[in-house]
Amino acid sequence: MKLKISLLLTLLTLIGCSQKKTEEALEIIPIEHASFVLKTEATTIFVDPAVKANFFNQYGTPDIVLLTDIHGDHLNIETLKSLKIDQNTKIIAPQAVADKLPETFKSKTIVMNNGATKTILDIPIEAIPMYNLREEAKQFHPKGRGNGYLLTLDNKRIYISGDTEDIPEMRNLKNIDIAFVCMNLPYTMTVDKAAEAVLDFAPKTVYPYHYRGQDGKSDIGKFKELTTSESKDIEVKLLEWYP
């Protein structure tokens, strides 16, 4: 009987270790501004690789490249050409971005416009709208042109805002494990509005990113304070996006 109990405890311990490894398998690697890498043992995803191809290339050939918008801090053709993209790499982009890609990338590109859902390399991906609400800012990001993304990777629902304000489509998200939320003026939104939106959709963990604006960097410390003072269930993690 003691032997059976011992074997059962050992099995439960091994299962617990395995689950812990799975939970910790996702790597989040900030490159700069809107550009970063999501990496598991099985999958490498480049998000808006618009800068520092040499940094991205440290992580090998991407399985998926997510592109959100046409602006130079999200789409840089020369940087894309410098990446270790091969015939198996899938590029996900809205039509406006796909139209700007060179012919050599066309066969690798899967167009997803706002609201589209696809499973790519066993990863469910949804294109979430991203756009400005303020009249004075609508010319920066009109509704329907660019994408945020919601994907399930390593059993985590991950939201990438792209360039947006606190739109209803963000505030109405559910069951988000990890969120990357922009906050910079005049192009996206204030830290106050970003905090309000995050408190509405309540991700387990949020990473402020894309927070360099026209007059310098937004106060992400204030964002963290506004968020965590209202909710103890949301963890705000601050990474180094501007080395």
Structural domains in the chain, sorted by start: 24-236 (3.60.15.10)
Question: Given this model, what pLDDT does residue 174 score?
Answer: 97
C-beta neighbour count of 32 within 10 angstroms: 18
The neighbouring-strand residues paired with 127 are 149
- Identity of residue 79: T
Question: Given this model, what pLDDT does residue 67 score?
Answer: 98
Residue 196 CB contacts under 8 Å (≥ 6 apart), including other chains: 166
* Token digits of residue 35: 């550009």
* Token digits of residue 47: 């998000």
SS3 105: helix
Question: Given this model, what pLDDT does residue 24 score?
Answer: 54
SS3 116: coil
Residue 3 has pLDDT above 90, yes or no: no
* Residue 101 · residue 120 · CB < 8 Å: no
Average pLDDT over residues 31-36: 97
Between β-strands 205-209 and 178-182, what pairing exists: parallel, antiparallel or unpaired?
parallel
pLDDT in tens, 44-101: 999 999 999 999 999 999 999 999 999 999 999 999 999 999 999 999 999 999 999 9
pLDDT in tens, 209-236: 999 999 899 999 999 999 999 999 999 9
Alpha-carbon span 127 to 93, nearest angstrom: 9
Cβ-based burial of 144 (10 A; exposed 0-12, middle 13-18, buried ≥19)? middle
Question: Given this model, what pLDDT does residue 243 score?
Answer: 84
What is the dihedral sign for C-alpha 56, 57, 58, 59?
A: positive
C-beta neighbour count of 43 within 10 angstroms: 16
- Identity of residue 166: D
Q: How far is CA 162 from the centre of its chain?
A: 8
Q: What is the DSSP-derived secondary structure letter of residue 166?
A: S
